[in-house]
Amino acid sequence: MSKIKFEIAIDNVASALAVQKSGADSIELCAGLSEGGTTPSVGMIRKCRELLDIKIFVMIRPRRGDFLFSEPEIEVMLEDIAVAKEEGADGVVIGLLQPNGEIDVQNTKRLVAAARPMSVTFHRAFDMTPDPVAAIQGLKACGVDRVLTSGQQVSAAEGIELIKILVKEAGDELVILPGGGITLSNLDEILVDGVKEIHATAAERVESLMESRNEWVDLSDERGISEYEHVQTMPSIVNEMKKVLDTGYKASV
């Protein structure tokens, strides 16, 4: 069994430090994971490059919401790609769609060209496309290296049948990267033939150390999470998931 690479999505320095202690192969570096991930700051990219020896793939997404971007937004993305390259990122993560939901091939090619020689991943904007098989062909034409997908379902476990189809369609030209709701309890369901990489958060909620609290004010938009807690990668979860990926051994959960 060949080694399956393990990528962790993070959006804070504490998670970067946790990943450094784990056996992960790469991170997807974002801001605002609760919003699906947006472009992290220069300082965050720089600090993670300083802390981590593994590969860093930087999210390039100027705002939350849909994946139909205006020309000024695409120009922002081009600038952010240049920054990621300058700061030593190994790759970028992008996703652009047309109004009809099909891949925006023209602008994706622009961003891919700007990113080289870095790797380019097309993120879960892919899961919004009406014809995923045709989208794979479009992304091949764009020169994208990887496609992050849950199989167009809430979780990759639920979308595994489409993921199987996409792996065959991608062949050796694209890496299909299953992601979305992958945990230790369902990881073995994702390990179908042809899957070479896995994407997860391996995170838990962590209570704030703040002693002074104003319970009347909540500045967060996040539903179901307090102002006084955040989500952080757990090395113990990463290590247990790595056991499954490397040996097939599944600890009790």
User: Could you list the pLDDT tens digit for every one of the 253 residues in the chain?
Assistant: 468 999 999 999 999 999 988 889 999 999 988 888 999 999 999 999 999 999 999 999 999 999 999 999 999 999 999 999 999 999 999 999 999 999 999 999 999 999 999 999 999 999 999 999 999 999 999 999 999 999 999 999 999 999 999 999 999 999 999 999 999 999 989 998 899 999 999 888 888 788 787 777 766 665 566 777 778 899 999 999 998 888 764 443 3
Q: Identify the CATH homologous superfamily for domain 5-247.
A: Copper homeostasis (CutC) domain (3.20.20.380)
- State residue 3's pLDDT score: 84
Contact present, 205 and 220 (Cβ < 8 Å): no
CA of residue 10 relative to chain centroid, distance? 8
- The upper half-sphere exposure of residue 50, i.e. CA atoms within 13 Å in the direction of its Cβ, equals 7
Question: d(Cα 175, Cα 67) in Å, to the nearest integer?
Answer: 21
**CB-side neighbour CA atoms (13 Å) of 146:** 24
Tokens for 79, please give them. 């600038």
Across the chain, which distance is largest between two alpha carbons, in Å? 55
Looking at residue 252, its pLDDT comes to: 39
